[in-house]
Structure 1
């Protein structure tokens, strides 16, 4: 069965940032970290630990984006970053198997409450896929746990580059055999959308005001005139005429 484009937009496929846009990484990582911290450092707040781990995310990817390091999958970067965070908090001598298991926290994240229903609605009319910096196995595990109904797994490992490198977006459109303007990136992050727009993709901003916890200060509004600006993914599906 052919996937028809929406007559009012010309969009044929929607791709999604995942961490923060589709799934709640902070709560999930903190939940998994709490079990580890109870054994090794019960005085450390699990959410603070999750935030510290996440702060290592972009600098680690920048080593790859800059060309200073060859591409390695995000699971590898997460594991290296975890070791740095353990050292930062003074946690020493944790068994390697426990560190490996904690690194899988990113594979066991829960979706935002609107995500699964909205993705199923959008899937009726459009190709849907992740466009994440997460590697393929990570995305598969998250999808299975959260029941995310992707048509394909796309993103950094497929093109061996990290967002916001331009070719992550442009090569994804090529993989799907559509024009950049026929591909819409959905993200809760203005910088991700700006990079996608620069190579011709359509854009949709979804508000996730607690991605970084109750004191979040970033991405609390659309900073440009994106093609769609919505409060949640069900609003996007409704605007596109996707039935409940």
Structure 2
């Protein structure tokens, strides 16, 4: 999907993907695998990991999550998500199968996200929810997901703040 979207974006900017070296397209396509984590992420996850299972529930593929973890030092216990659950968020199966894979009830799982819609879908499945704003995730002109828009179980400024709220 990343490659297909890259080719669409190139066309939008008047660039013919067939005129670009395949190795350059491959490198650009794999840039997602080399994303740096938010500054609070590694410390916050490490603190949370001391008491909880840490696993991304991402629509990204497992290899992407592995590469991001290795590149950014993300201390995940497991990598879950669409490939493992065989369902994409916001489908209920994505959330419910994740809980099942971890041998937990939905109420024992907390979905931590910067997207209100993701939290709403998780909450409908019985998961606990925590909102962390990422006001520049979509650039400086972002207008959505700047504030919590639901009755989430926790709202935190960042993952370190969430860990302070949750870890005894």
Q: TM-score range by the shorter chain?
A: over 0.9
1:226 counterpart (149, 152, 157) = 152
Is the radius of gyration larger for structure 1 or structure 2? 1
Match of 1:147 among 52, 73, 76: 73
Q: Which residue of 1 aligns with 2:8?
A: 84
Report the Cα distance in structure 1 between the residues aligned to 2:123 and 2:166, rounded to whole angstroms: 20
- Choose from 39, 42, 48 the match for 1:116: 42
Question: Size of the alignment, in residue pairs?
Answer: 166
- Helix, strand or coil for the counterpart of 2:130? strand
2:58 pairs with one of 128, 132, 156: 132
Matched, 1:203 2:129: yes
Consecutive unaligned residues of structure 2, counting only runs of 5 or more, are none
Q: CA RMSD in A?
A: 0.9
Normalised TM-score (structure 2): 0.96
- The SS at the match of 1:134 is coil
Superposed CA offset, 1:129-180 (max 9, x none): 1111110000000000000000001001112221111100000000000100
SS of the residue aligned with 1:126? coil
- Runs of 4+ with deviation above 4 angstroms: none
1:86-105 matched pairs, under 5 angstroms: 86-92=10-16, 93-105=19-31
